């Protein structure tokens, strides 16, 4: 499988740890169905559980997943992974009606899969030609399950875990996902989740994160830097600007709207910070993006 945007690849030790976790995973598939989605207008969509991941593979056109402070575009043939407690909308080209294979994985915490960094927000990957038969098998089993065949669901479990392994393999080899260090304190994992969920909130700052971690601001800043390699203020700014890049690349929101969705109450301050990071203004950076990236 091939991923869209990539960062640094992970080492063999982390990849081995991932494979071990997948091998131990306890997977339930409470939902496996083919759904017809009308995506010409935004369709509300949620993932209710705290350990549930929905895999959507649109057919016949692109799909966009949008949530507070973020947006993800999935090209034809791609796959969207929506993580725990996703709440947002799905949309597509005007007038588009598309079939989507919807598989809900309930991953057991005892299996060692959760938490996976990178699945806290939606992720998109592309389907490699070699993996296409897996989706065809899952599609056939989903249709069979809808027709009432009681054996389709247990047979699909093996296919589903194979697809999940392929998706995770791609994510880890491209740096999109990482195995969370088991030594990471719980307060830090909670803080990182809070950053992602409240990134549009201008009141989210280091003091608020320190209160969430039940630490003094000075102690929190020290421990955060030790764990993450950068100060919390810099990390928060980085995540806001990375989210802004994703929104600008989508080409739907204005610069002012992007600033607001990323927690900047002052669009001029946002523009200065963005130019310092990207080397050009938000408008110039957006104009330089290829049409296929929007």
For residues 65 and 272, the model is more confident at 272
Same domain, 159 and 226: no
Domain edge (last residue) among 147, 179, 211: 179
Residue 232: helix, strand or coil by DSSP? helix
Looking at the structure of the chain, the number of domains it has is 2
Same domain, 124 and 170: yes
DSSP states of 269-286 = HHHHHHHHHHSS-HHHHH
Which residues are CB-contacts of 55 (< 8 A; sequence separation ≥ 6)? 79, 80, 81, 82, 101, 102, 103, 105, 163, 164, 167
Its domain, for residue 243, covers: 186-293
Q: Are 39 and 92 in contact (CB under 8 A)?
A: yes
pLDDT score for 9: 41
Same domain, 190 and 170: no
pTM of the model: 0.48
CA atoms of 84 and 97, how far apart (whole Å):
26
- pLDDT, one tens digit per residue, over 179-199 is 555 556 778 878 888 888 888
Same domain, 155 and 206: no
pLDDT score for 10: 46
Same domain, 232 and 163: no
**205-243 b/e (C-beta count within 10 Å ≥ 16 → b):** ebebbbebbebeeeebbebbeebeeeebeebbbebbbeb
CATH number, domain with residue 275: 1.10.10.60
What mean pLDDT is predicted for residues 227-244? 88
Same domain, 273 and 129: no
For residues 33 and 87, the model is more confident at 87
For residues 124 and 270, the model is more confident at 270
What mean pLDDT is predicted for residues 44-52? 67
CA atoms of 260 and 63, how far apart (whole Å):
24
Checking 19-22 for CB contacts under 8 A at 24+ apart, the result is: 19/165, 20/112, 21/111, 21/112, 21/113, 21/179, 22/113, 22/161, 22/164, 22/165, 22/168
Same domain, 23 and 166: yes
CATH number, domain with residue 7: 2.60.120.280
CA atoms of 170 and 9, how far apart (whole Å):
10
Domain edge (last residue) among 139, 163, 179: 179
Report the Cα 228 to chain-centroid distance in Å. Answer: 20
pLDDT at 19 over 90: no
- pLDDT, one tens digit per residue, over 98-112 is 666 566 655 443 344
């Amino acid at each position: 499988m091939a991923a869209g945007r990539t960062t640094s690849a992970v080492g063999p030790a982390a990849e081995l740890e991932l494979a071990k976790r997948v091998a131990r995973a306890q997977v339930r598939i409470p939902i496996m169905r083919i759904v017809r989605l009308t995506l010409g207008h935004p369709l509300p969509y949620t993932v209710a559980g705290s350990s549930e991941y929905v895999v959507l593979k649109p057919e016949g056109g692109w799909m966009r997943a949008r949530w507070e402070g973020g947006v993800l575009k999935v090209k034809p043939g791609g796959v969207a992974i929506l993580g725990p407690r996703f709440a947002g909308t799905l949309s597509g080209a005007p007038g588009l009606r598309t079939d989507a294979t919807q598989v809900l994985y309930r991953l057991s915490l005892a299996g060692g899969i959760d938490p996976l960094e990178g699945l806290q927000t939606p992720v998109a990957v592309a389907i490699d030609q070699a993996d296409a038969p897996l989706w065809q098998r899952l599609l056939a089993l989903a249709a069979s399950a809808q027709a009432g065949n009681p054996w389709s669901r247990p047979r699909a479990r093996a296919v589903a875990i194979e697809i999940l392994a392929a998706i995770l393999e791609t994510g880890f080899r491209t740096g999109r996902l990482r195995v969370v260090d088991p030594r990471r304190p719980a307060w830090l994992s909670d803080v990182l989740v809070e950053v992602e969920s409240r990134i549009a909130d201008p009141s989210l700052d280091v003091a608020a994160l320190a209160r969430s971690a039940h630490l003094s601001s000075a102690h929190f800043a020290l421990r955060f830097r030790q764990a993450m390699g950068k100060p919390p203020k810099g990390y928060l700014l980085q995540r806001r600007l990375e989210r802004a890049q994703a929104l600008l690349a989508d080409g739907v929101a204005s610069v002012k709207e992007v600033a607001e969705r990323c927690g900047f109450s002052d669009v001029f301050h946002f523009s200065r910070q963005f130019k310092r990071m990207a080397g050009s203004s938000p408008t110039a950076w957006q104009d330089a993006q290829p049409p296929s990236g929007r």
